[in-house]
């Protein structure tokens, strides 16, 4: 891998991915809302930030996302679901990475292996959902998984060496989990980054469109 683009480079996992790739000698372009004004929920912003980049990225990874947006905590009951919180979750966790995929097509090489990956979450799995709760986040990630799977089918027609995948990073010690999973075993971001890069490197084009965890195991849709 020579060139990588990390979207959400200011986040816990995004920053660790930038560092891990740089340590491997990869030329990394990192973009974020904080440092570059890239708001993935606004197409003008995505188009402006990605439009100026030269094509040829071996990896484009979207590491943006949030569990709590605008003070709306993940819902334990349907009684707490609101239209606004659901719309905000869809905007950030599904529409955002989808717009990035749209504007990434011209940046991915057609003549060699390339990977487009978005950080999803195991809780977006319908088949794996035994606990309930977290309605809006779960549903937005499930919708993201469908976008990634559908995008992979189209991408394969123009980029036959490319992969488009959804990845579950594990439970990672970042701001994201500080309030909600602090009691769970959490891996440090640098370990999560190296796990994810290991999975990305091992995937074959036949696996495009899939949903994989940090160990490279398929997650149920």
Residues that bind ligand NAP (CB under 6 A): 8, 10-14, 32-34, 38-41, 63-66, 92, 119, 121, 168-169, 171-172, 174-177
Using CB positions, name the residue nearest to ligand NAP: 65
Q: How far is the CB of 31 from ligand NAP (least distance, A)?
A: 9
Q: Which is nearer to ligand NAP, 38 or 159 (CB)?
A: 38
Per-residue CA distances from 119 to 48, 65, 95 (Å): 22, 8, 13
Q: How far is the CB of 148 from ligand NAP (least distance, A)?
A: 12
- Nearest Cα to Cα of residue 194 among 175, 220, 170: 170
Instruction: Give CA–CA dist 123/169, Å, rounded.
Output: 11
Per-residue CA distances from 60 to 85, 86, 140 (Å): 28, 27, 21
The answer to whether the beta carbons of residues 161 and 112 sit under 8 Å apart is yes
Q: Which is nearer to ligand NAP, 118 or 155 (CB)?
A: 118
Q: Which is nearer to ligand NAP, 5 or 121 (CB)?
A: 121
Contacts of residue 170, defined as CB under 8 A and 6 or more positions apart, other chains included, come to: 187, 192, 195, 213, 214
Q: Which is nearer to ligand NAP, 13 or 72 (CB)?
A: 13
| Token pair for 76 | 């334990």
Q: Which is nearer to ligand NAP, 2 or 175 (CB)?
A: 175
Q: Which is nearer to ligand NAP, 1 or 94 (CB)?
A: 94
CB crowding 109-128: b at 16 or more within 10 Å, else e: eeeebbbbbbbbbbbbbeee
Tell me the angle at which helices 189-202 and 12-23 cross, rounded to the nearest 10 degrees: 60
Q: How far is the CB of 112 from ligand NAP (least distance, A)?
A: 27
Q: How far is the CB of 23 from ligand NAP (least distance, A)?
A: 18
| Token pair for 159 | 């980029």
Instruction: Give CA–CA dist 209/33, Å, rounded.
Output: 27
Q: How far is the CB of 218 from ligand NAP (least distance, A)?
A: 16
Q: How far is the CB of 167 from ligand NAP (least distance, A)?
A: 9
């Amino acid at each position: 891998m020579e060139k990588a683009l990390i979207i959400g480079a200011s986040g816990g996992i995004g920053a660790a991915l930038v560092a891990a790739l740089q340590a491997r000698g990869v030329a990394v372009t990192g973009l974020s809302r904080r440092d570059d004004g890239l708001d993935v929920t606004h197409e003008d912003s995505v188009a402006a930030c990605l439009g100026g980049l030269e094509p040829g990225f071996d990896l484009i990874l979207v590491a943006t996302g949030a569990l709590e947006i605008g003070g709306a905590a993940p819902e334990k009951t349907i009684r707490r679901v609101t239209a606004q919180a659901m719309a905000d979750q869809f905007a950030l966790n599904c529409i955002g990475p989808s717009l990035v995929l749209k504007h990434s097509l011209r940046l991915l090489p057609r003549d060699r292996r390339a990977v487009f990956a978005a950080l999803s979450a195991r809780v977006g799995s319908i088949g794996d959902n035994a606990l309930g709760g977290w309605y809006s986040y779960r549903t937005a990630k499930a919708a993201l998984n469908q976008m990634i799977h559908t995008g992979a089918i189209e991408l394969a027609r123009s980029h036959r060496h490319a992969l488009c995948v959804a990845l579950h990073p594990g439970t990672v010690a970042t701001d994201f989990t500080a309030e909600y999973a602090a009691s769970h075993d959490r891996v440090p971001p640098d370990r999560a980054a190296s796990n994810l890069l290991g999975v990305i490197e091992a995937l074959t084009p036949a696996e495009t469109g899939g949903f994989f965890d940090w160990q490279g195991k398929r997650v149920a849709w």
